[in-house]
């Protein structure tokens, strides 16, 4: 009877983890909108305010593997509820922050707690949905919540900040979070692996944290410092040093926090590589779209947010279609088509100019979303199919870690490409231009037009490179070889379910 009840509740389990994932991602998106108001209230500089986002990214990246390991060993439901509870508490604290220092502390608390969501949520869904086709659909719909939060962030956050002030975006997490927490208590079933951790790999966690902290820090601040400034060089050195220490520790650890045997699994590695390339290209290119639209097309923040609504719609639809193909078509073919279509959508952005209309932006966004959503369910389902259930948390944490680092890489790389392309265009346009009027006012206007043209033209190589990367990612996906039968049945592993 209890077993049948849980079967009926499994789609409510999906809704429960979607609320948690959506809320965590929404918080991260909205805070960026609130930074101008926070800067004014706290009387701080833009550079200082950037650490509010950087601190969150650092803490989130470092603790994802730790939560993943804990979830696999002490119970996913326990870890999920613990992380969600601390996230709500951290949100309340952030809503009452009185200066930059307090905000940084409270954002770190939020980030540490929020990093528990991805590895535990994916593991919860993997053990809740045993059927391969249902699992693919569930994981696909859950993955869409990431993109949906990015879309609805500006739509929800903009009006809230304008009407109620920046503190309201943190306090919003409290009532919504409590609803999600209650649902987790009621609907989520506890799962505990038969493989109990006796010696937690603290040294592995510390060395991995050191490597990730230095890497994410330089990716986030490298454009400000300069990629060859001494701060950046120190971060490179620390990253390499701690990575070697981490690999040495994990090779000898009895119960490593990241089991290196995952990287002997060709399906896991190829999926991870494809996921990295896709998120690097997409995050690196798409973060520039709102900037282009607001700067050169003259849209306000609210109108810009409306542009992304069709993107969310097409992503949800294509994700459901992609999930329904599980067991019918080889997953590598679905991922190949998905990534290739996304590449076409990103390449269409390279034709944008100041004469572009709202339709000229919506169409490539929709094409890109169709491609991204089509393969989203398949990527997560492939991981779920080839990894034992008892190690699903740490496997999904590696996937999340790769995605986060890929996004940081993408933003850093494409931001640098944009800057370098702009500088090169200014020199090239100035070299081929002749200003024959001496009037200082007209001369200044001519210089401004040269700079403006250089800035607009710099976006084309960014989107072109991003589309090339996605095309490479589509080719790499052909090496993800897993049978349709394996996708339907999943990986068997010992798993104990505890009624709570």
Three-state SS across the chain?
Answer: CHHHHHHHHHHHHHHHHHHHHHHHHHHHHHHHHHHHHHHHHHCCCHHHHHHHHHHHHHHHHHHHHHHHHHHHHHCHHHHHHHHHHHHHHHHHHHHCCCCHHHHHHHHHHHHHHHCCHHHHHHHHHHHHCCCHHHHHHHHHHHHHHHHHHHHHHHHHHHHHHHHHCCCHHHHCHHHHHHHHHHHHHHHCCEEEECCCCCCCCHHHHHHHHHHHHHHHHHHHHHHHHCCCCHHHHHHHHHHHHHHHHHHHHHHHCCCCCCCHHHHHCHHHHHHHHHHHHHHHHHHHHHCCHHHHHHHHCCCCHHHHHHHCHHHHHHHHHHHHHHHHCCCCCCHHHHHHHHHHHHHHHHHHHHHCCCCCCHHHHHHHHHHHHHHHHHHHHHHHHHHHHHCCHHHHHHHHHHHHHHHHHHHHHHHHHHHHHHHHHHHHHHHHHHHCCCCCCCCHHHHHHHHHHHHHHHHHHCHHHHHHHHHHHHHHHHHHHHHCCCCHHHHHHCCCCCEEEECC
**What is the C-alpha separation between 7 and 448, in angstroms, rounded?**
64
Q: At a CB cut-off of 8 Å and minimum separation 6, what does 328 contact?
A: 484
Phi, psi at residue 191, to the nearest 5°?
A: -130, 130
Look at residues 291, 437, 422 and name the one whose alpha carbon lies nearest to residue 445.
437
In degrees and rounded to multiples of 5, residue 192 shows phi and psi of: -130, 130
Residues 6+ apart with CB under 8 A from 31: 52, 53, 56, 107, 169
Phi and psi dihedrals of 344, rounded to 5? Answer: -65, -40
Residue 205 neighbours by CB under 8 Å, 6+ apart: 65, 66, 69, 257
Least Cα distance to 145 among 53, 278, 19 occurs for 19
495 forms beta bridges with: 193
Report d(CA 90, CA 110) in Å as an integer.
5
Query: What does the angle CA 249 – CA 254 – CA 260 come to, to the nearest 5 degrees?
Result: 60
Q: Are 114 and 121 in contact (CB under 8 A)?
A: no
Unique residue bearing structure tokens 């190589």 = 461
Task: Give the per-residue pLDDT at 178.
Answer: 92
Token pair of 102, please?
């307090």
Measured CA distances, 188 to 17, 79, 344, 498 (Å):
9, 12, 39, 11
pLDDT for res 24 = 81
Residues in the chain: 500
Determine whether 66 is exposed, middle or buried from the number of CB atoms within 10 Å of its CB (0-12, 13-18, 19+). Answer: buried
Place of tokens 């992503």: 315
pLDDT at 455: 80
Q: Which of 286, 262, 212, 283 is nearest to 59 (CA)?
A: 212
Per-residue pLDDT of the chain (500 residues; tens, 9 = 90+): 344 445 567 888 888 998 888 888 787 777 877 877 888 899 887 667 778 877 787 788 778 888 877 877 778 888 899 999 999 999 999 999 999 899 999 999 998 888 888 788 888 887 888 776 677 778 777 877 776 776 677 677 777 887 888 899 899 889 988 998 999 988 888 765 555 555 677 888 888 888 888 888 888 778 778 888 999 999 999 999 999 999 999 888 877 877 787 788 888 888 888 888 888 887 777 777 877 887 788 877 667 767 877 887 788 788 778 777 776 788 888 889 999 999 999 999 989 888 888 899 899 989 998 888 788 777 777 877 777 766 777 777 787 778 778 877 887 788 888 888 888 877 777 766 666 666 677 767 667 777 778 888 888 888 998 899 899 989 988 888 776 666 665 554 444 444 44
pLDDT of residue 46: 67
Residue 498, beta-bridge partner list? 190
Give the model's pLDDT for residue 196: 55
Instruction: Give me the residue spans of the domains in the chain.
Output: 2-201+253-498
423 token code pair? 């500088």
Distance CA 312, CA 373 (A): 9
CATH topology of domain 2-201+253-498: Growth Hormone; Chain: A; (1.20.1250)
Whole-number pLDDT of residue 96: 93
Distance separating alpha carbons of residues 4 and 309, to the nearest angstrom: 37
């Amino acid at each position: 009877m209890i077993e049948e009840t849980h079967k009926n509740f499994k789609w409510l389990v999906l809704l429960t983890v979607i609320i948690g994932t959506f809320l965590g991602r929404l918080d991260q998106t909205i805070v960026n909108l609130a930074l101008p108001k926070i800067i004014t209230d706290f009387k701080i500089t833009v550079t200082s305010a950037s650490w509010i986002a950087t601190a969150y990214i650092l803490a989130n990246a470092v603790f994802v593997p730790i939560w993943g390991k804990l979830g696999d060993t002490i119970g996913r439901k326990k870890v999920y509820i613990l992380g969600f509870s601390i996230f709500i508490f951290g949100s309340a604290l952030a809503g009452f922050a009185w200066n930059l220092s307090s905000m940084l502390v409270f954002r770190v608390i939020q980030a540490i707690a929020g990093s528990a969501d991805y590895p535990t949520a994916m593991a919860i869904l993997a053990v809740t949905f045993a059927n391969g086709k249902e699992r693919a659909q569930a994981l696909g719909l859950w993955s869409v919540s990431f993109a949906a939060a990015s879309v609805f962030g500006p739509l929800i956050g903009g009006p809230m900040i304008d009407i109620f002030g920046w503190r309201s975006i943190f306090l919003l997490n409290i009532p919504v979070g409590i609803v999600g927490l209650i649902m987790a208590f009621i609907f989520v079933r506890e799962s505990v692996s038969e493989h109990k951790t006796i010696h937690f790999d603290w040294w592995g966690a510390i060395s991995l944290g050191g490597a990730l902290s230095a890497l994410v820090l330089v990716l986030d601040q490298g454009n400000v410092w300069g990629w060859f400034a001494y701060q950046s060089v120190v971060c490179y050195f620390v990253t390499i040093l701690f990575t070697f220490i981490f690999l040495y520790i994990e090779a000898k650890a009895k119960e490593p926090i990241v089991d290196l045997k995952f990287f002997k699994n060709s399906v896991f590695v190829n999926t991870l590589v494809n996921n990295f390339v896709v998120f690097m290209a997409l995050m690196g290119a798409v973060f520039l779209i709102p900037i282009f639209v607001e700067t050169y097309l003259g849209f306000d923040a609210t109108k810009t947010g409306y542009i992304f609504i069709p993107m969310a719609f097409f992503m949800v639809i294509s994700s459901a279609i992609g999930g329904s193909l599980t067991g019918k078509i080889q997953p590598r073919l679905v991922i190949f088509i998905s990534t290739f279509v996304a590449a076409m959508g990103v390449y269409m952005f390279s034709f944008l100019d100041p004469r572009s209309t709202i339709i000229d932006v919506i169409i490539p966004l929709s094409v890109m979303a169709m491609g991204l959503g089509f393969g989203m369910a398949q990527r997560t389902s492939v991981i779920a199919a080839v990894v034992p259930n008892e190690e699903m948390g740490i496997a999904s944490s590696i996937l999340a870690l790769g995605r986060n680092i890929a996004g940081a890489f993408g933003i850093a790389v494409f931001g640098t490409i944009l800057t370098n392309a702009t500088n090169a265009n200014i020199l090239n346009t100035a070299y081929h231009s002749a200003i024959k009027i001496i009037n200082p006012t007209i001369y200044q206007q001519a210089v401004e037009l040269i700079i403006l043209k250089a800035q607009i033209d710099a976006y084309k190589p960014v989107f072109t490179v991003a589309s090339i990367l996605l095309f490479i990612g589509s080719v790499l996906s052909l090496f993800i070889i897993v049978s349709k039968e394996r996708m339907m049945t999943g990986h068997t592993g010992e798993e104990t379910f505890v009624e709570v």
